[in-house]
Amino acid sequence: MKNLDYVPGKEAHNEEINPFVLVRGTVVNKSEDEGKVDLGVQYRVYAYIDAVENKRPLGVKYFYSLTDKEGKTWFLYESKTGTDTPVTSTPYRRIVSHYIVGSNIEIGKDAITDLYMKVKYNIGEEKNKVYKVTEKVLGIRKSELNAAVFKTEGVLDDILEVTFSFKKTDNEKYSTNFTLDFIKDIENPFHLNLQSWIVSKSGKIYPLLGLYNYRSPKKFYPTLETTVYKYVQPEYIYLKLEFTDHENAIRRLYYKTAISDLLGE
Protein backbone atom coordinates (compact mmCIF):
# COMPACT_ATOMS: atom_id res chain seq x y z
CA MET A 1 0.00 0.00 0.00
CA LYS A 2 2.90 2.38 0.67
CA ASN A 3 3.86 2.47 -3.03
CA LEU A 4 0.40 3.29 -4.39
CA ASP A 5 0.60 7.10 -4.23
CA TYR A 6 -1.37 7.56 -1.02
CA VAL A 7 -0.63 10.96 0.52
CA PRO A 8 -0.70 11.74 4.28
CA GLY A 9 -4.00 13.41 5.12
CA LYS A 10 -2.55 16.67 6.41
CA GLU A 11 -0.73 17.09 3.07
CA ALA A 12 -3.70 16.20 0.87
CA HIS A 13 -6.26 18.98 1.17
CA ASN A 14 -9.26 18.58 -1.14
CA GLU A 15 -11.77 21.41 -1.59
CA GLU A 16 -14.55 19.14 -2.86
CA ILE A 17 -14.79 15.99 -0.76
CA ASN A 18 -13.67 14.72 2.65
CA PRO A 19 -13.54 10.96 3.30
CA PHE A 20 -12.85 10.18 6.94
CA VAL A 21 -13.11 7.18 9.24
CA LEU A 22 -14.11 6.31 12.77
CA VAL A 23 -12.23 3.30 14.15
CA ARG A 24 -13.92 1.60 17.08
CA GLY A 25 -12.11 -0.88 19.30
CA THR A 26 -14.05 -3.17 21.61
CA VAL A 27 -12.17 -5.23 24.19
CA VAL A 28 -13.60 -8.76 24.23
CA ASN A 29 -12.91 -12.02 26.00
CA LYS A 30 -11.52 -14.34 23.32
CA SER A 31 -11.31 -17.36 25.64
CA GLU A 32 -13.83 -20.13 25.08
CA ASP A 33 -13.20 -21.57 28.55
CA GLU A 34 -15.86 -20.71 31.09
CA GLY A 35 -14.48 -18.59 33.89
CA LYS A 36 -11.29 -17.68 32.01
CA VAL A 37 -10.64 -14.16 30.72
CA ASP A 38 -8.21 -13.64 27.83
CA LEU A 39 -8.67 -10.13 26.48
CA GLY A 40 -8.18 -8.94 22.91
CA VAL A 41 -9.44 -6.10 20.73
CA GLN A 42 -12.09 -6.40 18.04
CA TYR A 43 -12.21 -3.53 15.54
CA ARG A 44 -14.95 -2.03 13.46
CA VAL A 45 -14.39 0.74 10.93
CA TYR A 46 -17.08 3.27 10.02
CA ALA A 47 -16.44 5.16 6.78
CA TYR A 48 -17.92 8.61 6.18
CA ILE A 49 -17.96 11.05 3.29
CA ASP A 50 -18.52 14.79 3.65
CA ALA A 51 -18.96 17.18 0.77
CA VAL A 52 -17.04 20.41 1.32
CA GLU A 53 -19.14 23.55 1.72
CA ASN A 54 -21.71 23.65 -1.12
CA LYS A 55 -19.93 21.20 -3.43
CA ARG A 56 -21.98 18.24 -4.73
CA PRO A 57 -19.80 15.28 -5.77
CA LEU A 58 -21.69 12.66 -7.77
CA GLY A 59 -21.09 8.97 -8.40
CA VAL A 60 -18.79 8.64 -5.40
CA LYS A 61 -17.04 5.28 -5.18
CA TYR A 62 -14.86 4.46 -2.20
CA PHE A 63 -12.20 1.99 -1.11
CA TYR A 64 -10.82 1.47 2.40
CA SER A 65 -8.02 -0.71 3.76
CA LEU A 66 -5.59 -0.89 6.68
CA THR A 67 -2.38 -2.49 7.87
CA ASP A 68 -1.62 -3.95 11.28
CA LYS A 69 1.50 -4.18 13.45
CA GLU A 70 2.60 -7.37 11.74
CA GLY A 71 2.53 -5.65 8.35
CA LYS A 72 -0.58 -7.49 7.18
CA THR A 73 -2.95 -5.58 4.88
CA TRP A 74 -6.72 -5.81 5.35
CA PHE A 75 -8.90 -4.77 2.40
CA LEU A 76 -12.08 -3.57 4.08
CA TYR A 77 -14.47 -2.54 1.37
CA GLU A 78 -14.73 -1.30 -2.20
CA SER A 79 -18.01 0.08 -3.55
CA LYS A 80 -19.23 -1.19 -6.91
CA THR A 81 -21.74 1.59 -7.58
CA GLY A 82 -21.52 5.34 -7.11
CA THR A 83 -23.21 7.38 -4.38
CA ASP A 84 -24.66 10.83 -5.06
CA THR A 85 -24.76 13.66 -2.54
CA PRO A 86 -28.39 14.71 -1.94
CA VAL A 87 -29.26 18.29 -2.89
CA THR A 88 -31.62 18.56 0.09
CA SER A 89 -28.93 18.08 2.73
CA THR A 90 -26.67 20.96 3.79
CA PRO A 91 -24.11 20.29 5.05
CA TYR A 92 -23.94 16.84 3.52
CA ARG A 93 -22.70 13.80 5.42
CA ARG A 94 -23.15 10.14 4.69
CA ILE A 95 -22.04 7.07 6.59
CA VAL A 96 -21.03 4.94 3.65
CA SER A 97 -20.02 1.69 5.30
CA HIS A 98 -19.18 -0.09 8.50
CA TYR A 99 -17.54 -3.47 8.64
CA ILE A 100 -15.86 -5.70 11.16
CA VAL A 101 -12.35 -5.73 9.77
CA GLY A 102 -11.01 -8.66 11.76
CA SER A 103 -11.43 -10.44 15.03
CA ASN A 104 -9.24 -9.83 18.04
CA ILE A 105 -7.24 -12.91 17.08
CA GLU A 106 -6.67 -11.96 13.43
CA ILE A 107 -5.53 -8.34 13.72
CA GLY A 108 -1.77 -8.56 14.22
CA LYS A 109 -0.82 -7.84 17.83
CA ASP A 110 -4.28 -6.31 18.34
CA ALA A 111 -3.21 -3.05 16.71
CA ILE A 112 -3.95 -1.10 13.53
CA THR A 113 -1.03 1.04 12.35
CA ASP A 114 -2.12 2.65 9.05
CA LEU A 115 -5.40 3.51 7.32
CA TYR A 116 -5.92 4.01 3.58
CA MET A 117 -8.84 5.83 1.94
CA LYS A 118 -9.51 6.28 -1.78
CA VAL A 119 -12.52 7.92 -3.41
CA LYS A 120 -13.41 8.35 -7.08
CA TYR A 121 -16.09 10.89 -7.97
CA ASN A 122 -17.57 13.24 -10.56
CA ILE A 123 -18.11 16.95 -10.04
CA GLY A 124 -19.32 19.41 -12.66
CA GLU A 125 -17.81 18.47 -16.00
CA GLU A 126 -14.93 16.58 -14.38
CA LYS A 127 -15.26 12.80 -14.32
CA ASN A 128 -13.51 10.08 -12.32
CA LYS A 129 -11.49 12.35 -10.08
CA VAL A 130 -9.41 10.37 -7.56
CA TYR A 131 -8.45 11.36 -4.02
CA LYS A 132 -6.15 9.06 -2.02
CA VAL A 133 -5.22 9.55 1.62
CA THR A 134 -3.29 7.57 4.21
CA GLU A 135 -3.26 8.12 7.97
CA LYS A 136 -0.83 6.85 10.59
CA VAL A 137 -2.82 5.64 13.61
CA LEU A 138 -1.85 7.44 16.80
CA GLY A 139 -0.31 5.34 19.55
CA ILE A 140 0.45 5.58 23.24
CA ARG A 141 3.11 3.88 25.37
CA LYS A 142 2.71 2.72 28.94
CA SER A 143 5.54 5.06 29.92
CA GLU A 144 3.38 8.02 28.85
CA LEU A 145 0.49 7.33 31.21
CA ASN A 146 1.93 9.39 34.06
CA ALA A 147 3.19 12.21 31.85
CA ALA A 148 2.25 15.71 32.99
CA VAL A 149 1.28 16.60 29.43
CA PHE A 150 -2.04 14.76 29.87
CA LYS A 151 -4.55 17.25 31.29
CA THR A 152 -8.02 16.73 32.75
CA GLU A 153 -9.55 19.40 30.48
CA GLY A 154 -10.50 18.28 26.99
CA VAL A 155 -10.14 21.74 25.42
CA LEU A 156 -7.64 22.71 22.72
CA ASP A 157 -6.99 26.45 23.00
CA ASP A 158 -10.07 28.33 21.77
CA ILE A 159 -10.61 25.90 18.90
CA LEU A 160 -12.42 22.77 20.04
CA GLU A 161 -13.50 20.57 22.92
CA VAL A 162 -13.72 16.80 23.31
CA THR A 163 -16.03 15.26 25.92
CA PHE A 164 -16.74 11.64 26.83
CA SER A 165 -19.82 9.95 28.21
CA PHE A 166 -19.63 6.71 30.18
CA LYS A 167 -22.63 4.97 31.72
CA LYS A 168 -23.63 1.64 33.17
CA THR A 169 -25.68 -0.43 30.73
CA ASP A 170 -26.30 -3.50 32.89
CA ASN A 171 -24.44 -5.69 35.38
CA GLU A 172 -21.94 -6.83 32.75
CA LYS A 173 -21.06 -3.76 30.71
CA TYR A 174 -20.90 -0.01 30.21
CA SER A 175 -21.47 2.12 27.12
CA THR A 176 -19.27 5.04 26.11
CA ASN A 177 -19.10 7.71 23.43
CA PHE A 178 -17.41 11.02 22.65
CA THR A 179 -18.36 14.38 21.16
CA LEU A 180 -16.06 16.65 19.18
CA ASP A 181 -17.36 20.22 19.22
CA PHE A 182 -15.87 23.42 17.83
CA ILE A 183 -15.77 26.44 20.11
CA LYS A 184 -15.61 28.94 17.27
CA ASP A 185 -16.26 28.98 13.54
CA ILE A 186 -13.26 27.83 11.53
CA GLU A 187 -13.02 29.43 8.10
CA ASN A 188 -9.67 28.08 6.92
CA PRO A 189 -8.92 24.46 5.98
CA PHE A 190 -7.66 22.15 8.73
CA HIS A 191 -6.91 18.49 9.35
CA LEU A 192 -7.67 16.53 12.52
CA ASN A 193 -6.80 13.08 13.86
CA LEU A 194 -7.65 11.75 17.30
CA GLN A 195 -7.32 8.46 19.15
CA SER A 196 -8.54 7.37 22.58
CA TRP A 197 -7.73 4.40 24.78
CA ILE A 198 -9.16 2.56 27.77
CA VAL A 199 -6.61 2.00 30.53
CA SER A 200 -7.48 -0.77 32.98
CA LYS A 201 -6.84 -0.87 36.72
CA SER A 202 -3.86 -3.12 36.03
CA GLY A 203 -2.39 -0.59 33.58
CA LYS A 204 -3.26 -2.42 30.37
CA ILE A 205 -3.95 -0.14 27.37
CA TYR A 206 -6.68 -0.88 24.81
CA PRO A 207 -7.62 1.18 21.72
CA LEU A 208 -11.10 2.70 22.07
CA LEU A 209 -12.24 5.29 19.48
CA GLY A 210 -10.26 6.98 16.74
CA LEU A 211 -11.21 9.62 14.16
CA TYR A 212 -8.96 10.16 11.13
CA ASN A 213 -8.76 12.68 8.26
CA TYR A 214 -11.53 14.83 9.73
CA ARG A 215 -11.81 18.24 8.02
CA SER A 216 -15.36 19.45 8.65
CA PRO A 217 -15.85 22.44 11.02
CA LYS A 218 -18.97 20.96 12.57
CA LYS A 219 -19.80 18.82 15.57
CA PHE A 220 -19.12 15.11 15.35
CA TYR A 221 -20.29 12.26 17.56
CA PRO A 222 -20.75 8.59 16.68
CA THR A 223 -24.38 7.56 16.33
CA LEU A 224 -23.63 4.22 18.00
CA GLU A 225 -22.18 3.91 21.48
CA THR A 226 -19.26 1.60 22.21
CA THR A 227 -19.49 -1.26 24.71
CA VAL A 228 -16.92 -1.61 27.48
CA TYR A 229 -17.26 -4.86 29.43
CA LYS A 230 -16.79 -4.80 33.18
CA TYR A 231 -14.22 -7.61 33.05
CA VAL A 232 -11.88 -5.09 31.40
CA GLN A 233 -11.84 -3.19 34.73
CA PRO A 234 -11.62 0.24 33.04
CA GLU A 235 -10.08 3.02 35.13
CA TYR A 236 -9.17 5.86 32.73
CA ILE A 237 -9.77 7.12 29.22
CA TYR A 238 -6.76 8.73 27.53
CA LEU A 239 -6.90 10.78 24.33
CA LYS A 240 -4.43 12.26 21.86
CA LEU A 241 -5.58 14.79 19.24
CA GLU A 242 -3.60 16.49 16.47
CA PHE A 243 -5.00 19.61 14.80
CA THR A 244 -3.13 20.89 11.73
CA ASP A 245 -4.13 24.36 10.53
CA HIS A 246 -3.97 25.90 7.04
CA GLU A 247 -0.39 27.04 7.66
CA ASN A 248 0.64 23.46 8.55
CA ALA A 249 1.12 24.33 12.22
CA ILE A 250 0.22 21.42 14.51
CA ARG A 251 -1.51 21.84 17.86
CA ARG A 252 -1.92 18.86 20.15
CA LEU A 253 -4.38 17.95 22.87
CA TYR A 254 -3.45 15.33 25.49
CA TYR A 255 -6.39 14.50 27.72
CA LYS A 256 -7.28 11.95 30.36
CA THR A 257 -10.34 11.41 32.50
CA ALA A 258 -11.17 8.96 35.26
CA ILE A 259 -14.03 6.54 34.60
CA SER A 260 -15.29 7.14 38.14
CA ASP A 261 -15.67 10.86 37.36
CA LEU A 262 -17.65 10.11 34.21
CA LEU A 263 -19.90 7.77 36.20
CA GLY A 264 -20.36 10.42 38.89
CA GLU A 265 -18.99 8.19 41.62
97-137 pLDDT, tens digit per residue, is: 554 444 444 565 668 899 999 989 999 899 999 999 999 99
Q: Which residue has the higher pLDDT, 215 or 111?
A: 215
Q: How many angstroms separate the CA atoms of 37 and 35, rounded?
A: 7
**β pairing state of 173-182 and 226-229:** antiparallel
Delimit the domains of the chain by residue range: 7-263
- Greatest CA span in the chain, whole angstroms? 62
User: Do 26 and 42 form a contact (C-beta atoms < 8 A)?
Assistant: yes
Range among 11-15, 70-74, 250-254 rated most confident: 250-254
Residues with Cβ within 8 Å of residue 87, at least 6 apart in sequence? 56
Indicate the average pLDDT of the chain: 87
Percentage of residues in the chain with pLDDT exceeding 90? 56
Residue 220 pLDDT: 93
Q: Determine the distance from the C-alpha atom of residue 193 to the mean position of all C-alpha atoms in its chain, rounded to a whole number.
A: 7
Consecutive H or E run containing 261: helix 259-263
